[in-house]
Amino acid sequence: MNAVILTGRVGNDLELTQSNDKLICRFSLATSDGTKDSPNTNWHNIVAFGKTAEILSSYVKKGEQLCINGSINNSSYEKNGENRVYSQIIVSKFTLISNNNN
């Protein structure tokens, strides 16, 4: 099963584009391990499509806290003769936890 649940803060303003009449929303999400002494922050590339992309781009801003349900999608590419892997989370559902940057 390829299932991901992430709760974190939106790291940048959402980028909404359209490709082949389909809306695409991209942004980063910062998650941490919850320790206050030495927090370990991880950044995730998030992508949503269609109606989900439209709703996210209308209501979510940088700094807000979200819970994302989705799946991991990995792709590879070559750069300077070196193979690289790019991971992104494809959103299936989301919950806006806060909208006031607290």
Q: Do 57 and 88 touch, CB atoms closer than 8 A?
A: no
Q: How far apart are CA 73 and CA 47, in angstroms?
A: 10
pTM (2 d.p.): 0.85
How buried is 31 (Cβ within 10 angstroms: 0-12 exposed, 13-18 middle, 19+ buried)?
A: middle
Tens digits of residue pLDDT in 57-94? 999 999 999 999 999 999 998 989 999 899 999 999 99
- Topology of domain 4-98, per CATH? OB fold (Dihydrolipoamide Acetyltransferase, E2P) (2.40.50)
